Amino acid sequence: APMPEVRLILISGARWMRERTPELQALFPKARIVEFYGASETSFMAWMDADALAPPHAVGKPFSNVDIDIREPKTPAGVGQIYVRSPMLFMDYVGPATDHTAAVRDGEWLSVRDMGYVDAQGFLCLVGRENRMLVTQGKNLFPEELEAVLMAQPGVHSASVHGLPDPIRGQQVVAVVQLNLTEPSPTAQQLAEACRAQLESYKVPKRFLMCTHWPLTASGKTDHLAVAKELACLPPLL
């Protein structure tokens, strides 16, 4: 039943599945639903009211005390590394920051290695993490975009996209999928057709693997590194 007592919902941590916004609004008819984008190192960066019709990559407009800079943008969309300047940046890590995912500083500016662009309406648009970018058929692919499409399909609970060595393409796109056992399971062909309907052909996975054991990080998110290690143990793709 609807819960009119709830007045505010904040969504963070992972990209909200915007096609489900009407369902959320129906469940909480008097609540303001706000998405925000940030990181542990940066705190709040951008925000927006949840809107099912918002651009798919948009994560909002910067907070009033936050400046955004897109470094080394590439055409046509102007995608580059996102740098932020704000009074809410963290001081530093405890111990040496040797992890390849660690934030990088440039004076007052900081980047957590996310890649994105600012669109014509001023929305910050997030395409993925620099360290997860794949190059297939000579083109850049950010797994997060493909994972969002897969997780929007009925019967799919989680998805993790990776690139495996391919003598022709450089990297072959492989999708590892965790199925929702309470719903009918989609076939690999159905998933490929759904991807093909929404994405360029080079982004469509050439191979789908269904997984029952799903590794998670300490914060409860998909452990993509653990999935990649499992993939590395598979026989070479033909």
Strand partners, 173: 163
Look at residues 62, 45, 42 and name the one whose alpha carbon lies nearest to residue 104. Answer: 42
Chain position carrying tokens 């929702």: 180
Beta carbons of 129 and 114 less than 8 angstroms apart? yes
- CA pair distance 206, 43, nearest whole angstrom: 37
Phi, psi of 206 (to 5 degrees): -90, -15
- Cβ contacts of 14 within 8 Å, gap of 6 or more: 221
Which pLDDT score is estimated for 99? 65
What six digits make up the tokens of 118?
């600012």
The pLDDT of residue 116 is: 92
pLDDT of residue 60: 93
Per-residue pLDDT of the chain (238 residues; tens, 9 = 90+): 999 999 999 998 777 878 889 999 999 999 999 999 998 899 999 999 998 888 878 999 999 999 999 998 887 778 999 999 999 999 988 877 666 668 899 999 999 989 999 999 999 998 888 888 888 888 888 898 899 999 999 999 999 999 888 888 888 999 999 998 888 999 999 999 999 999 999 999 999 999 888 999 887 889 998 998 888 887 665 5
pLDDT value at position 221? 86
Helices (H), the chain: 21-27, 143-151, 188-198, 224-232
CA dist 124 and 25 (Å) reads 24
Asked if 132 and 224 touch (Cβ cutoff 8 Å), the reply is: yes
Residue pair 203/146 in contact (Cβ under 8 Å)? The answer is yes
Taking the CA atoms of residue 50, residue 52, residue 53 and residue 55 in that order, the dihedral angle to the nearest 10 degrees is 60
Q: Is-contact 172 206, C-beta < 8 A? A: yes
